[in-house]
Structure 1
Amino acid sequence: MTEVGSVDVTHAADVVELEVPASAAYVAVVRTATAGLAARFDLTLDRIEDLRIAIDEACTLLIRRPADAPPDHLSCLFTLAEGALTVDVSGPDVELPDRSAYAWAVLSALVDSLESGHEDVEGARRTWIRLTVRAGAGQWA
């Protein structure tokens, strides 16, 4: 069983895990994986691009930290189940913008559901963001 943001994915139909260094240089890898899985999920090209932009923004929020911070990683859990593609991204402990901030408004506009929080993983506090898009037209119907 894998848990990210307190979600049990034991019975998920299709789950893909990806771990990359928490660096801007690797955000493109996460974007590409997201687009590939979204295409497999039969999302429209516009919805795929929206999700790519959203995942880029989420990863960018999670890698903001001082230059002298020790190396860390982003963990991505892609779950395709029950008519939705959910992407859970967790990274170093960071302070996320207020939900009324522009960055959060952009994220909210691009996906059907957006959640965030903090969790303790092996004694270290991590921040997570969960993005969900539903099959079909989603919020643009």
Structure 2
Amino acid sequence: MTETESTGPRHTGAQPGELGEDDVEVRLGANLTHLPIVRSIAANVAVRADFDLDAIADLRLAVDEACSTLITRAVAGSTMTCRFVIDDGELRFHGTVASAEQEAPSTASFGWKVLTTLADTANTWLDSEGRDGADGPHGQVHVELTKRKPTLT
């Protein structure tokens, strides 16, 4: 069953700026050409966490969709931050990017439906308390998802 939310932040793992021992965080230019890098990192983290091949494939696609969502809302020249946290049989992804958008990404879009089909939980929100840039005020768009290890029955 997939849980979708768009009400606000759900804190995962260490506090912002802090990384747990097994956490992975990467910062890249918010550019679609970087999607293969993030997909590869997602797959490698999931392999390390002993996910099965189907779950790894789902996670790669879900992270791709999450990052695509962020990149299309990013302020030109901004940085996308992606964090992967392994905890209690699940892998959590949290991505964020500076954006001039006034609303969180739509949870009614086809892309969001794909993301929520592939992930166990998904959440998006807009943190409007950002910094001012040359082209206006910037907030932060967040996308967070969780993929759990399949249970053997």
Do both proteins adopt the same fold according to a TM-score greater than 0.5, normalized to the shorter chain?
yes
Q: Residue 88 of structure 1 is aligned with which of 63, 82, 94?
A: 94
Change (3 A) 1:80 1:99: same
Q: Residue 46 of structure 2 is aligned with which of 38, 53, 69?
A: 38
Change (3 A) 1:14 1:121: farther
> What amino acid maps onto 1:55 in structure 2?
V
Change (3 A) 1:74 1:116: same
Please state how far the C-alpha of 1:58 moved relative to its aligned partner: 1.0
Aligned to 2:134: none
Please state how far the C-alpha of 1:119 moved relative to its aligned partner: 2.1
> What amino acid maps onto 1:10 in structure 2?
A
CA distance in 2, matches of 1:65, 1:108: 19
Please state how far the C-alpha of 1:6 moved relative to its aligned partner: 5.6
CA distance in 2, matches of 1:8, 1:126: 17
Please state how far the C-alpha of 1:65 moved relative to its aligned partner: 4.7
Task: Name the SS of the counterpart of 1:14 in structure 2.
Answer: coil
Identity of aligned residues (%): 29
- RMSD, aligned CA: 2.5
TM-score (norm 1): 0.81
Task: Name the SS of the counterpart of 2:23 in structure 1.
Answer: strand
For structure 2, which runs of at least 5 residues remain unmatched after alignment?
1-8, 132-137
Q: Residue 55 of structure 1 is aligned with which of 63, 67, 91?
A: 63
Task: Name the SS of the counterpart of 2:150 in structure 1.
Answer: coil
Task: Name the SS of the counterpart of 2:141 in structure 1.
Answer: strand
Aligned to 1:136: 150
Q: Residue 64 of structure 1 is aligned with which of 42, 60, 72?
A: 72
CA distance in 2, matches of 1:118, 1:32: 26
